[in-house]
Every structure is written in C-alpha cells, then in structure tokens.
Amino acid sequence: MSQPAWSEQFDTDRLPRVASSLPGVISREWAFDGATGAGIRVAVVDSGIDASHPAVGHIEGAVMLEYDPDAPSGVRVTDGSHDDAYGHGTACAAIIRANAPDCDLFSVRVLGSRLTGKGPVFAAGIRWAVTHGMHVVNMSLSTGKQDYFGLFHEMADMAYFRNVMLVCAVNNVPGPTYPSQYAAVFSVAAHRGKDPLHFEYNPNPPVEFGAPGIAIEVPWLNQGTITASGNSFAAPHIAGVVARILSKHPGLTAFEMKTVLAALADNRSAASS
C-alpha cells in the first residue's frame, strides 16, 4: 500500500529510538550545576570582538563578512582576526563569557563601514554560523525591512532544523523585525534585573524571554566599560545560559531548550533554584 511522502522515516525498522532528554522535574541543579559552557561553540554575529578585552579573555575564531558586488552572492568572506568597529560585539561576547565561562566564542563580523548590502551580509553571517558547527548564535541585530522577511525566515528555519539555537534581540521599534519575529528563534527583550542568570519567560510571544539589559555595566572599546541599556544586551545573557545548559546536556533540541528555559524562569512559581 502506498504511503504519503515523508512517512517512510516512521517505518518501525527505520525509526531511531530517541532517549528522553528531559527529567520529570527540571531544576537549576539539573540544568546548570557544574556546567561551564565547555565544548559549546557560540557565534557572536555583530560588530566584531576585541579578544584582548579582559572580560572576553580569548576567542576561538573570527570571520568577517562584507558586501562586495563582485563576490559570489555579493558577500566577501575573510577568515582571521579583526577588531570591533563599535564595541558592541565585545560587550555581547563578555556577557556570554560571564554566563558560560568556558564556551568557545567565535566572532562573525557583519557590521562594517556601510549599510549597503546589510541584509544579504547579515543572512550570510547566520549561514556561516549554521554551516560551521556553531551550537548557539547570538544576534543583537534586526531589520524591519519587509524585503528580507523570506531570506531571514529561511535562515531561521535552516538553523532550527540543524539544531543551531538562534538567540535574537527584539527591536524596540514598533512593528515586526527579523529574525526576532520567527517562532524558530529565541527572542529576547530586557528586564530590570541585574543578576546575569535571572531570566523570565513571557507566555505571550513574539518576545519569549527577558534578561538583564537595563543600566548594566558592559565592556566596550579600549579595554573600557560603559553603562548601557538595550534589548541587544539582554540577548547575550540568554545565549550564555543556553550555552551553559547545552554543555551539560548536549543532546537538547531547540524546542527542548525553550521548555527548559520556561521551566527555570524566575517568574515560574514552581521554579526551583
């Protein structure tokens, strides 16, 4: 008897046995204790990372993507170290490092000297991260440009199907922005808390998670720090938490990770600490 396409994989002789990843009760001890982010590769898709900043320590790799109409698909990719154009990527890297001290940080620099070609460059940055073995991708960037809806949707789906966790800052500007708008990503906004491991779950999407990002001291250029606010500082807190949990539970899928975060959120009455 013929069966619909895609159903062969559910034939009993082909279906893999899947071990249960989640315990009956999800606690912070189960999720975090002893976890440091070791072995987890985290890409910071931003303005570059100043690896010499003491709050960052070191990074494992760096790649720069720039608009180049003569390059294939309009994007030139340059491997190797680069500086941080603005300071923001360094801030994000340090926030991730604080929550997942032993994770492997990779700088994927997509913000450069001009805005031209930003959409394709940004999308190429996500593609690079997804196809180069990253486990977590932090993106404190967004675009409201309708033309890019499909492009970023494709990237978000590709990441999800490959179990790469995209953590995106939500924009403060009214109206949808991409990729934070998609269900496949971890979308994050700032709350008023200061504890880097304090995060909240919002059951009314599109913003699903809250993390510190208001008046917090963050590393910046020239080994310095600034006190700053923005959703863009909230996202790396969640990226760090995700990396930390993954290092202890590497088999978790993106949807399981969301379940874990929701269960551990500080606003969950049943959350144990």
Query: CB of residue 188 vs another protein: minimum separation in angstroms?
Result: 12
Using CB under 8 A as the binding rule, the residues of this chain from 83 to 102 that contact another protein are 85-88
Mask: binding to another protein, 175-214, rule CB under 8 A, as x and -? x-x-----------xx-x---------------------x
- Using rule CB under 8 A, residue 247 touches another protein: no
Q: How far is the CB of 83 from another protein (least distance, A)?
A: 11
Residue 107 engages another protein in binding (rule: CB under 8 A): no
Per-residue x/- mask for another protein, residues 109 to 148, rule CB under 8 A? --xxxxxx-x---------------------xxxxxxxx-
Is residue 25 involved in binding another protein (CB under 8 A)? no
In the complex, least distance from residue 43 CB atom to another protein, rounded to whole angstroms: 16
The whole-angstrom separation of Cα 247 and Cα 267 is 24
Contact (CB, 8 A) for 23 and 272: no
Residue from 35, 40, 169, 239 in contact with another protein (CB under 8 A):
169
CB of 205 to another protein, least distance (A): 18
Inter-axis angle of helices 254-264 and 231-248, nearest 10: 110
What tokens appear for 17 in the block? 């046995």
| Residue among 106 and 220 whose Cβ is closer to another protein | 220
Return phi, psi of residue 161, to 5°: -70, -25
| Smallest gap from residue 113 Cβ to another protein (A) | 4
Tokens coding 268: 């969950």
Q: Which one of 21, 221, 249, 266 is in contact with another protein (CB under 8 A)?
A: 221
Which CB, 176 or 196, lies closer to another protein?
Answer: 176
80 contacts: CB under 8 Å, gap ≥ 6: 62, 63, 64
Of residues 26 and 49, the one with the C-beta less far from another protein: 49
Tell me whether residue 182 is exposed, middle or buried, using C-beta atoms within 10 angstroms of its C-beta: 0 to 12, 13 to 18, 19 or more: buried
If we measure between CA atoms, which residue out of 122, 130, 132 comes closest to residue 180? 122
Between the CA atoms of 112, 115, 116 and 119, what dihedral angle is there, to the nearest 10 degrees? 90
Rounded least distance, CB 143 to another protein, Å: 5
Secondary structure element (H or E) that encloses residue 200, with its range: strand 200-201
Q: What are phi and psi of 266, to 5 degrees?
A: -65, -25
For residue 233, what are its two tokens? 């500082």
Phi, psi for residue 127 in degrees, rounded to 5: -60, -45
Which residue among 21, 27, 202, 225 contacts another protein (CB under 8 A)? 225
Residue located via tokens 């559910």: 10
Binding site for another protein (CB under 8 A): 46-47, 85-88, 111-116, 118, 140-147, 169, 171-175, 177, 189-190, 192, 214-215, 220-222, 224-232
